[in-house]
Structure 1
Amino acid sequence: MNGTVNLECEIKALLRKRGPLSVAFITRFLNEMGVDCNRQKVERILRNMVLRGIVEAFYNGGRYNRRKHYRLR
């Protein structure tokens, strides 16, 4: 659980700093920061954060290749 909490804090800090991002970019930026994670782990944590109301998911029409993006509430 401790690793999950740390990853949640890193994701929140990343979204606060860079704005709305897709899972691919969140994973890429976390790996560049030295946090060892993969796409599936990031998706699972983001899904839990959406259920708890910390983060919201949205599709951005024609921009950003119609991928799901996440932003802080």
Structure 2
Amino acid sequence: MTTSVWQVTGMTCGHCVSAVTQEVGELPGVVSVEVLLETGAVTVESEAPLDRAAVEAAVDEAGYQLV
């Protein structure tokens, strides 16, 4: 298992957290996603290291930006 922490900007509410959690959670190999609204930190546990471009695309699909 691999744990990665990413920073996301633009989130302002619980709906934002849900959108990012859902999109990142759909990436292949992702086991869990924890999003902290206050800090913008997105902690992802996955079976293997995730490709930054894939995470960036998922966050973008949710309507936010990976730092």
TM-score normalized by the length of structure 2: 0.35
Structure number with higher helix proportion: 1
Which structure has the higher relative contact order (CA within 8 Å, separation 6+)? 2
The structure with the largest alpha-carbon Rg is 1
- Decide which structure has greater strand share: 2
* TM-score (normalised: structure 1): 0.33
